[in-house]
Amino acid sequence: MRAAGFPLRPKRAIAYGDSITEGVGADGLFTSWTLIGVNNARATWFPIACAALGCEYGQLGSGGWGMSKRSLEMPPLPDIWDLYDPTTSRLTDGLLKPEPDYIFCCMGTNDPGLDITPDYVRWLVGMRKACPKALVFCIVPPLGVHLTEVRGAVQARNEAGAHKVHMIDTAPLKESFRAGQGATSLGYDGVHPSVYGNAMLAAFITVEAQKVISGKD
């Protein structure tokens, strides 16, 4: 039960993402998957955005997770988003219940060299069937990777009549990360956002999402 004085927020949101959404390196320089003291899920962009948008939320982020890449730890998102385990579905009568008002996806950083468009479209099709009323926000990863594929997947679904699917392009933040070049203004390692980097990312995503939400609501 929720403690007195903390009423439920009016909306629901869910996010799918990789180590950036997991909170890796939010509190300090990330150097090893065994040294997790610098990781902080509560300081990531998603809880901040949900606070601004008035949402209760489910945060599904895991380091190394890909849209198309299959790792030893995690199959790609389209294969497992609707499962509790290999044999147990998360869906009830084909629907995700309770249905979120907003769905965010920030995937692709871990799919280097792959065309993620077909898998992205496959995920969007499945998600629309499970959540027919939700607004879906497809976020270009803050490093700017797979912009063309994310745009193509969103466009394909829009052309197929799925008009509640939208892209958020984080290009204005790309140069402040400068992947692989050491510490930057937004990330201790130039990849994973710091608390400040997550705040900037959250503010950008919130503004872009609110433009869509205001038009729809």
For the domain covering 11-216, report its CATH number: 3.40.50.1110
Instruction: Please state the pTM of the whole predicted model.
Output: 0.94
Closest listed residue to residue 149, CA positions, set 197, 204, 112: 112
Closest listed residue to residue 210, CA positions, set 30, 20, 52, 47: 52
- Measured from the Cβ of residue 214, the count of other Cβ atoms closer than 10 Å reads 8
Q: Where in the chain are the domains?
A: 11-216
Contact by Cβ (8 Å): 60, 22: no
- Mind listing the pLDDT tens digit for each residue in 53-85? 999 999 999 999 999 998 767 899 999 999 999
- Mind listing the pLDDT tens digit for each residue in 116-137? 999 999 999 999 999 999 999 9
Round to the nearest angstrom and report the end-to-end CA distance of the chain. Answer: 29
